[in-house]
Chains A and B, each alone.
Chain A
Amino acid sequence: MSEVKFSKQHEWIKLDGDIATIGITQHASEMLGDIVFVELPEKGSSVAKDGVAGVVESTKAASDVYTPVSGEVIENNQSIVDDPAKINSDPENQAWFFKLKIKDKNEIETLMNKEEYHKFAKESSN
């Protein structure tokens, strides 16, 4: 299993063979505040790199969730639909959003590693 990578839209992605698991980062969940609603891409649908693949809503506002890579949705996490608060309590593990069969592994290369992302997140919140 490869290392976790991060996007500028504050998603994380973990690759296992050609299956990617995607969610939003701890930093994103903290910025959003209490999440009360989530919408996920449908199983079987195709998503394109940097395209909208879902929505998260706090009490204050709705925000789009993007996919950092292209692929076909093979699974979405119903447990966060039933209990969106999980996204605040465990965003980078249990509260993953969806799994993709990825199209092009090279797309992952452009993403940030953990260290780079933390630096990016810190700068972008200032």
Chain B
Amino acid sequence: MENKKTALYSLHKKNGAKFVPFAGYEMPIQYTDGIISEHKFTREKAGIFDVSHMGQLFIKGTNKLEDDLEKIFPTDLKNILINQSKYSFLMNENGGIHDDLIITKLKNGFNIVLNAACKNTDFDLLKELLNNKYEMDLKDNFSLIAIQGPEAVKILEKITNGVSNLKFMSGNNFNYSGDNIYITRSGYTGEDGFEISIKNELAEEFVEKLIKQGGKLIGLGARDTLRLEAGLCLYGHDMDINKSPVEANLKWAISKNRINSGGFIGYEKIKLQIEKGVKKLRVGIQPEGKIIAREKTAIFSEDNKNIGEITSGTFGPSVKAPVAMGYIDNSFAKINTKIFLEVRGKKHPANITNLPFYKKNYVKGVNK
């Protein structure tokens, strides 16, 4: 089957993109500048990412839909405001993660941003869980563009006036040359930034304007190093159907009142794990030397017991050192615990560390 192309494909090509197949799409892994310079440009200025391969699921409905979605997701959807976004999970009964996602409450429904590789199965599963009661649209006719970095707000403000008023993890409708676009202040890089949902026909010209204002297209390669430095999980690697949000060290994303009230899929398992603890836990791992420990690298204790596995690892261009995360036996999960990583047959020392590796005191938006 041929891979799909996003509406920005020719613009990527024009900008010297190197393409890779990703979740059924031809996506730019990098442009002519290369991953490290793209990474740094995002941290210092503003990177533009085509994330149109991700699912933008709109479910139409009001109060009844809120009730039904709360039977699925561990998130307080009733008390969040319209245009507020929440990080959440689609789980199975065992607390295993089908997908991690962002839900935004709208006036007439909910918008859910899904991982590209999961979006079609998520759609089918949600349709079934909602008993086919609601109008659901996986909006293929919309592109999703992220702009991330300290200059993102300044650049985007020039094109869509008013975005600087958005608070982190909230969105709104904006007018763009007579059309409506929806923008949220969010992202996947550890930087301040925005995600813009825009009609396919307008996407290319919109991105060209962002470039003209000082943004630069950034590929999936740098997106991965940026998110890893920011301590953010990549679905299918740092989390999957065999791991729960508690094991993934993401219990902060489960609303407190939902843990008390229950009634969502996986509730019993999650409650048990929160009360009794978990056997394995996702942690940040900092190798002591320069060795890069990649996915599937075995983790050992000082007395040579196999205690876990790396799920993501690379060189962090901003921290200028190797960075990794992985799952480890809970008794070794304490910060500064010394561990060993087996790379090419040799064991290399590393330490459990706090996430994120890279932290910025970015503006969380302003109230006006």
Does B associate with A? yes
Show the binding face of A for B, using Cβ within 8 Å.
Answer: 33-34, 36-37, 39, 55, 57-62, 81, 85, 88
The 9 closest A-B pairs by CB, nearest first: A36-B315, A34-B36, A34-B34, A59-B35, A59-B314, A34-B35, A59-B225, A57-B292, A37-B292
CB pair A33 B315 closer than 8 Å: no
| Residues of chain B with a CB closer than 8 A to A85's CB | 36
Q: Nearest chain B CB to A113's CB is how many angstroms away? A: 28
CB pair A33 B35 closer than 8 Å: yes
What CA separation (Å) do A88 and B314 show in the bound complex?
18
Q: Nearest chain B CB to A52's CB is how many angstroms away? A: 9
B187 at the interface (CB under 8 A from A): no
| Residue among A37, A58, A59, A62 with the highest chain B CB neighbour number at 10 A | A59
CB pair A59 B344 closer than 8 Å: no
CB pair B36 A55 closer than 8 Å: no
| Residues of chain B with a CB closer than 8 A to A33's CB | 30, 34-35, 221
What CA separation (Å) do A124 and B29 show in the bound complex?
20
B291 at the interface (CB under 8 A from A): yes
Interface string of B319-346 (1 = CB under 8 A from A): 0001000000000000000000000100
CB pair B35 A55 closer than 8 Å: no
| Residues of chain B with a CB closer than 8 A to A59's CB | 35-36, 39, 221, 224-225, 314-315, 317
B294 at the interface (CB under 8 A from A): yes
Minimum CB distance partner of B220 in chain A: A60
What CA separation (Å) do A34 and B37 show in the bound complex?
9
Minimum CB distance partner of B322 in chain A: A37
Interface string of B26-41 (1 = CB under 8 A from A): 0001100011110100
A57 in contact with B315 given A37-B292, A62-B292 (CB within 8 Å) = yes
| Residue among A33, A60, A88 with the highest chain B CB neighbour number at 10 A | A60
Q: Nearest chain A CB to B57's CB is how many angstroms away? A: 30
CB pair B344 A55 closer than 8 Å: yes
Partner of A60, one of B37, B39, B221, B344: B221
| Residues of chain B with a CB closer than 8 A to A37's CB | 290-292, 315, 322
CB pair A36 B294 closer than 8 Å: no
What CA separation (Å) do A122 and B39 show in the bound complex?
29
